[in-house]
Amino acid sequence: MVRAVRIEEVGGPEVMALREVPLEPPGPGMAQVENRAIGLNFIDTYHRGGLYPIPLPSGLGTEGAGVVVAVGEGADVAVGDRVAYCSAGLGSYAEAVNLPAARLVPVPDGVDFDIAAAAMLKGQTAEYLLRRCYALREGQTCLFHAAAGGVGLIFGQWARALGATVIGTVGSADKVDIALAHGYNHVINYREEDVAQAVADLTGGVGVPVVYDGVGRDTFEVSLNCLQPRGLMVSFGNASGAPEPLDLQRLAAGGSLYITRPTLVSYTASTEDLRQSAAAVFERILDGSVQVAIGQRYALADIVRAHRDLEARRTTGSTILEPR
C-alpha cells in the first residue's frame, strides 16, 4: 500500500483526498518509481477541474523524480536508476507509482531529485517552445507572459543565454524583480501598464516576431496586438481560461499573422524526442545557464492548499510536493 491523492469527481481543490491505495508489481514494459520529489503544475488543475477530461476515479499529477525500485519484463531501465518523468501518465501525487519505462528519463549526476522534479515539465516546455516550436535566434526579441511562473523563469534564462532580447509580463512589482533576476531584459507589470503599448515602445513600433502565451483568455488579444506582420502567436496554455473562438480575419488584419496551439505531449511523443529534450534541459542546468527556482514546498497531505495557492497565483517559480 502507498499513499496517493485520488479524486472521485471533478471540481475544486476540495475533491482531492490522500488515501492508502494498493500498488501492484510493474507489468511488462513498466517500472515502479519510488518518488523522492513531485512537481506541481497548472495542468494538474485542468485535470482536477474537468477542463481536460480524464477517466474517474483517478490519480493526479504528471511529474516527479525518484528511484526505480522494480521493473517489468522488457523495461529499458534498471532497479536503482535515478529517473524523472512528466509525460508518463497520471498519478505522480503518490509515494510510488508504476509508469511506462519508455517515458522515464535518466537524471544525471549533479542534478538532485528536487531540481529534476521541478524542471522536467517546465524545462521541457521551455525547450520545445524556444528550440523547436519557434527557434529563437541571437538578436531576436520575444514576449513571454507570466514571466515569474515556473516555465517563465526557465524560459527567460534560456532565451537570454541564446542571445535573444526577452520581454516578460507579470502582475506585481515583486514579480518584476524576480523576472529581471532570471534573464528578462524588460518586464511589464500588466496591472499598471498597457502591454501592447509598452511592447511597441520597446521595439520602436515594430512589435515582436513571436509571443509565447500560456495565460490564455486574459492575454490572447493583447498577444496578437504585440506581433509584427507575419509574427507567430504560440498559445501553449490556458491559465486564465480558454480563449474565445478566433475569427481568422483577425489574423489577416494583424498582418498575415500565424498561430499555433502546441503541447508538450506532441513534441515529446517518441522516446527519442522525450529523452533528447530532457537531456537538453539537464545540460542547461549543469552548465549553469539555467537555475531552477523552487519557490515553495508542500507536504503531499497539504495538496488542497497547494492547489488553492497555485490557482490564486500566490506561487512563484516551481513548486515541489514532498511525498514523505
**Identity of residue 72:** G
Same domain, 112 and 6: yes
Q: What is the pLDDT of residue 42?
A: 87
Spatial separation of the C-alpha atoms in residues 201 and 65, rounded to whole Å: 43
Same domain, 7 and 95: yes
Q: What is the pLDDT of residue 242?
A: 83
- 130 assigned to some structural domain: no
Residue spans of beta strands (DSSP E) within 177-255: 186-189, 208-213, 227-235
Same domain, 62 and 177: no
- Among 235, 261, 287, the domain-final residue is 261
Domain containing residue 102: 2-119+271-322
Residue indicated by cell numbers 527519442: 272
Same domain, 234 and 300: no
- Spatial contact of 42 and 63, defined as CB atoms under 8 Å apart: no
DSSP letter for 26, please: P
Q: By C-alpha distance, which of 40, 89, 37, 87 is closest to 67?
A: 37
pLDDT digits (tens, 9 = 90+) for 6-45: 999 999 999 999 999 999 999 999 999 999 999 999 889 9
- 125 assigned to some structural domain: no
Phi, psi dihedral angles at 53 (to 5 degrees): -60, 140
Same domain, 88 and 15: yes
- 107 assigned to some structural domain: yes
Same domain, 280 and 235: no
In this structure, of 268-272, 293-297, 306-310, the range with the lowest mean pLDDT score is 293-297
Residue 269 grid cell:
511523443
Same domain, 50 and 17: yes
Q: What is the mean pLDDT of residues 225-230?
A: 98
- Spatial contact of 217 and 238, defined as CB atoms under 8 Å apart: yes
Spatial separation of the C-alpha atoms in residues 14 and 58, rounded to whole Å: 15
- 131 assigned to some structural domain: no
- Among 239, 261, 283, the domain-final residue is 261
Residue 20 host element (H or E): strand 16-21
Number of structural domains found in the chain: 2
Q: What is the pLDDT of residue 293?
A: 84
- DSSP of 121-135: HHHHHHHHIIIIIS-
Q: What is the mean pLDDT of residues 282-296?
A: 94
Query: With b meaning 16 or more CB within 10 Å and e meaning fewer, what string describes 280-313?
Result: bbbebbeeeebebbbbebbebeebbebbebbbee
pLDDT for residue 317 is more than 80: no
- Spatial contact of 125 and 63, defined as CB atoms under 8 Å apart: no
pTM equals 0.90
Same domain, 40 and 96: yes
Same domain, 164 and 59: no
- 233 assigned to some structural domain: yes
- 146 assigned to some structural domain: yes
What CATH number has the domain bearing residue 8? 3.90.180.10
Phi, psi dihedral angles at 43 (to 5 degrees): -60, -25
Residue indicated by cell numbers 508489481: 25
pLDDT digits (tens, 9 = 90+) for 166-207: 999 999 999 999 999 999 999 999 999 999 999 999 999 999
pLDDT band at 116 (very low <50, low <70, confident <90, very high): very high
Q: What is the mean pLDDT of the chain?
A: 96
Q: What percent of the chain has pLDDT over 90?
A: 91
What CATH number has the domain bearing residue 226? 3.40.50.720
Same domain, 63 and 26: yes
**Identity of residue 129:** L
- 220 assigned to some structural domain: yes
- Among 237, 261, 285, the domain-final residue is 261
Q: What is the pLDDT of residue 150?
A: 85
Same domain, 256 and 142: yes
- Spatial contact of 37 and 117, defined as CB atoms under 8 Å apart: yes
Same domain, 113 and 149: no
Q: What is the pLDDT of residue 176?
A: 96
Q: What is the pLDDT of residue 149?
A: 87
Burial class from Cβ neighbours inside 10 Å (0-12, 13-18, 19+) for residue 172 reads middle
- 169 assigned to some structural domain: yes
